[in-house]
Amino acid sequence: MTGLERIAAEVLAALFLIWGTVLYLEHRGAQQCYSAEAKKVATAEIHNTEVEQGGMKADVKAETKYDFTIALPVAAVPALPSSVSAPACPSAVPKAGGPAPAGDYRPTIRAPTATGVVSEGWDSFERSDVQSARDADAEVIYLQTLLKTQHAVCTGQIIH
């Protein structure tokens, strides 16, 4: 081998060595990136699992509170409006087609929250949800009582 061939071979070997070193360092850097990303993913998965378990516990707790709350009795039925009387019966309207008697049939009831129904730890959404359920129960009882009384006044029959 001549001197020129030897120099060319050494340069070529040096280039391969440099190229191999670059590839090795690039591969090692990529492995470090992959392992760092795997650690981040594992941490995120653990966090997500904890959050999901906390959410499930909160759901069970809220459902238990809701079941307890709706089992409580609602507010007392208020006094019936003055329109529940014999003149308010549809049969009492003149056959000639006079206007129906005016009545106050608005079931505007706001059931008071019983002591201990809504705990201090509840957020505003839970509080409004429970209050809406109690209001709806109170309105249903009010309307049922109103209908029973109206039926009793108009027909003379008491519904039990």
Please indicate, yes or no, whether residues 54 and 125 belong to a single structural domain of this protein: no
Q: Is residue 156 part of a domain?
A: yes
Please indicate, yes or no, whether residues 87 and 49 belong to a single structural domain of this protein: no
Question: What average pLDDT is seen over the chain?
Answer: 74
Please indicate, yes or no, whether residues 84 and 63 belong to a single structural domain of this protein: no
Please indicate, yes or no, whether residues 80 and 20 belong to a single structural domain of this protein: no
Predicted TM-score (pTM) above 0.85: no
Query: DSSP 3-state assignment of 2?
Result: coil
Q: Is residue 66 part of a domain?
A: yes
Best mean pLDDT range from 9-18, 82-91, 113-122: 9-18
Structural domain total, the chain? 2
Instruction: Report percent pLDDT > 90 for the chain.
Output: 17
Q: Is residue 52 part of a domain?
A: yes
Please indicate, yes or no, whether residues 80 and 40 belong to a single structural domain of this protein: no
Q: How far is CA 24 from CA 15, 18, 37, 65, 82, in A?
A: 14, 10, 20, 61, 94
Q: Is residue 97 part of a domain?
A: no
Domain that holds residue 116: 76-92+105-160
pLDDT at 49 over 70: yes
Please indicate, yes or no, whether residues 110 and 46 belong to a single structural domain of this protein: no
Q: Is residue 98 part of a domain?
A: no
Q: How far is CA 94 from CA 72, 87, 98, 153, in A?
A: 45, 10, 6, 17
Please indicate, yes or no, whether residues 43 and 81 belong to a single structural domain of this protein: no
Please indicate, yes or no, whether residues 65 and 18 belong to a single structural domain of this protein: yes
Residues 143, 151: Cα–Cα separation, whole Å: 12
- DSSP one-letter code for 92: G
Please indicate, yes or no, whether residues 33 and 85 belong to a single structural domain of this protein: no
Q: For the segment 94-112, what is each residue's pLDDT rounded down to a tens digit?
A: 444 455 455 554 545 555 6
Q: How confident is the model at residue 124 (pLDDT cuts 50, 70, 90)?
A: confident
Q: Is residue 28 part of a domain?
A: yes
User: Which two tokens mark 83?
Assistant: 């329109």
Please indicate, yes or no, whether residues 86 and 133 belong to a single structural domain of this protein: yes
